[in-house]
Amino acid sequence: MFDFDRVIERRGTHASKWDNMARLSGITAPDAIPMWVADMDFAAPPGVTAALTADVQRATHGYYADTGSWAAALVDWMSRRHAMRIDPAWVSPTPGIVSGLGLILQAVSAPGDEVVVFPPAYHAFRKIIVANERRILDAQLAEQQGRYTMALDALRAKLTPRTKVVFLCSPHNPGGTAWSRDELAALANLCAERDLILVSDEIHCDLVFGSAKHTPTMAAAPHVADRLITCVAATKTFNLAGAHVGACVVSNSALKKKLDSRIAASGLGSYNGFGMAATEAAWRTGEAWLDALLPYLEKNRDLFDARIEAAAPGARSMRLDGTYLAWVDFSATGLAPEDVAARVAKRARIYASPGEQFGPGGTNWLRFNFATPRPILEEALDRLDEAFADLRAGKARARS
Ligand SMILES: Cc1ncc(COP(=O)(O)O)c(C=O)c1O
C-alpha cells in the first residue's frame, strides 16, 4: 500500500540532507550517500500530499486562522497512540521544536543560568543553550548492558543555584533509549527537589519499535506537571521537517503565560499555513502509513546493525528502542577516530554525523540515519563493507 522501497530523487530540490552534504562534509563525490540529518527519504503520507495539493490548487495563501482544529488533531493523536491526556488549552504551537526550546529558555531562565543536558545528546540542544547565552551542564549518560542510563546522583552533586532547566530527549537521540517509567519519575523527583523546569522533548515518540514503548514524561510523573513542558511534533514521525511546526504542551497556566509572552514578543503567534495544514493532515490521516513505516524501519535497523558489525569487527551499534538513527561505537575496532571517519567519508562516500557533535562521550562514534529506501541502504552497507575490508583481512590474518 505504501512503497517505502521507491527511490525519490531529492538532489537539487533544496533537501538539506542531500544538497547541503558537500558543503558541510566536504564529500563531493556525485554518488555520495547522506546518512546524517534526521529526515527520511520516503514520501509523506498520501493524506498530507492531498491536503497540500488542495491548498496549492485553491491558490490563495493568506494568513492562517487557528480555529483549534490543529490542537484537536494533536490531542487526538497523542491520546490514541500514547494514552497521553492533553487539554488543548495547554498547547502552544512554535515554529519547530528547537525554536520552542529557545523560547522556553528565554521564558524561564536568565543569561548565565545552567541548563542540564544528557550527553551524548542531540547537538541542537547544545547550540540553542549557547546561542541564548545560557551554560551547558553536562550530565554524562552511563552505558549499562548496551543502553544508556541517567546517572542522577552524579548530576545531583553537580547542580548549582544557577541550574534552572533540564533538557531531556525522550526517546533519546542518539542511542534510541526509550526511558522507563521509573527512570522518568526519578528524574522528575530530582527536578522537584531542586526546583528545576523539566523540558521533555518527545519529538521521536512515535518512532519506537517492537516491544519497546514510549512513556510520556507527563504520564510517568504527573506530580511534576507544574514544572513540566513537553515538546511534540508531527514533523519527525511523518517526514515533514521542512514544515517547521511543533508544539509546547504546558499544563501550568502561569508557566504557559510566560512562554506565550516570549512567543508574542518574537512575533510568532501567527502560524505558517502550509506547515499547519501538513501536520494536521498527518495526525488525522497518517496512522496506517506510520503503522506500515515502523516495521520497514525496524528491518532497516536490524539490517544496518548486523552488517555494520560484520563489516568492521569491533564496531558496535547500540540497540535502538526507537528513532532511525543508528549510533555506532568504533572504539574497539582498534582504528583511530580519524581513520574511521576517513573510511566512511572517503572510501564509502557516506556522510554520517560525527559523534563529537553530540558532546562528551561521542568520540569515535558515528550516527547513521537509516530512514532511506532499502536499495540505498544496501548500497551504503556494501560500501561500508568494502571500506573496512582490509581491517577484516588484517584481523583474520592475526587470528591464523
Ligand atoms: C530530539 C530532537 N529534537 C528536535 C529536533 C528538531 O526539531 P525541529 O526541526 O522541529 O526544530 C530533532 C531533529 O532531529 C531531534 O532529534
H or E segment to which residue 148 belongs: strand 147-150
Q: Is-contact 187 198, C-beta < 8 A?
A: yes
H or E segment to which residue 249 belongs: strand 246-250
Cα(398) to ligand 1 centroid in Å equals 44
CA distance 370 to 324: 6
pLDDT tens track for 268-315: 999 999 999 999 999 999 999 999 999 999 999 999 999 999 999 999
**pLDDT at site 42:** 98
- Answer with the residue of higher pLDDT: 397 or 94: 94
pLDDT tens track for 320-354: 999 999 999 999 999 999 999 999 999 999 999 99
| Ligand 1 pocket test, candidate residues 16, 35, 98, most atoms within 8 A of CB | 98
Measured by CA distance, the residue closest to atom 7 of ligand 1 is: 97
CA distance 248 to 242: 18
pLDDT tens track for 220-262: 999 999 999 999 999 999 999 999 999 999 999 999 999 999 9
pLDDT tens track for 186-199: 999 999 999 999 99
CA distance 94 to 73: 16
Residue 323: name the closest of 175, 183, 119 by CA. Answer: 175
Measured by CA distance, the residue closest to atom 14 of ligand 1 is: 38
Mean pLDDT of 87-103: 98
CA distance 182 to 115: 22
Q: Which amino acid is at 303?
A: L
**pLDDT at site 87:** 98
| In the predicted structure, residue 1 carries a pLDDT above the cut 90 | no
| In the predicted structure, residue 399 carries a pLDDT above the cut 90 | no
**pLDDT at site 400:** 83
| Ligand 1 pocket test, candidate residues 36, 101, 122, 240, most atoms within 8 A of CB | 122
Mean pLDDT of 142-147: 95
Cα(193) to ligand 1 centroid in Å equals 28
| Ligand 1 pocket test, candidate residues 92, 117, 173, most atoms within 8 A of CB | 173
Cα(200) to ligand 1 centroid in Å equals 12
pLDDT tens track for 46-84: 999 999 999 999 999 999 999 999 999 999 999 999 999
CA distance 320 to 331: 19
| In the predicted structure, residue 388 carries a pLDDT above the cut 90 | yes
Cα(240) to ligand 1 centroid in Å equals 11
Atom of ligand 1 at shortest range from CA of 245: 10
Q: Is-contact 222 184, C-beta < 8 A?
A: no
275-301: burial string, b at 16+ Cβ within 10 Å, e else: bbbbbbbbbbbbbebbeebbebbbebb
Number of H helices, E strands in the chain: 15, 14
- Answer with the residue of higher pLDDT: 397 or 379: 379
Please tell me whether the overall predicted TM-score, pTM, comes out greater than 0.85 for this model. yes
| Ligand 1 pocket test, candidate residues 199, 203, 240, most atoms within 8 A of CB | 203
Cα(203) to ligand 1 centroid in Å equals 7
Atom of ligand 1 at shortest range from CA of 37: 14
**pLDDT at site 266:** 97
pLDDT tens track for 21-40: 999 999 999 999 999 999 99
Percent of the chain at pLDDT > 90 equals 98
CA distance 237 to 202: 11
Q: Which residues line ligand 1 (CB under 6 A)?
A: 38, 96-98, 122, 169, 173, 201, 203, 233, 235, 241, 246
Mean pLDDT of 150-171: 98
Residue 208: name the closest of 345, 364, 323 by CA. Answer: 323
**pLDDT at site 55:** 97
How many Cβ atoms are within 10 Å of 341's Cβ, its own excluded? 18
Residue 281: name the closest of 231, 216, 237 by CA. Answer: 237
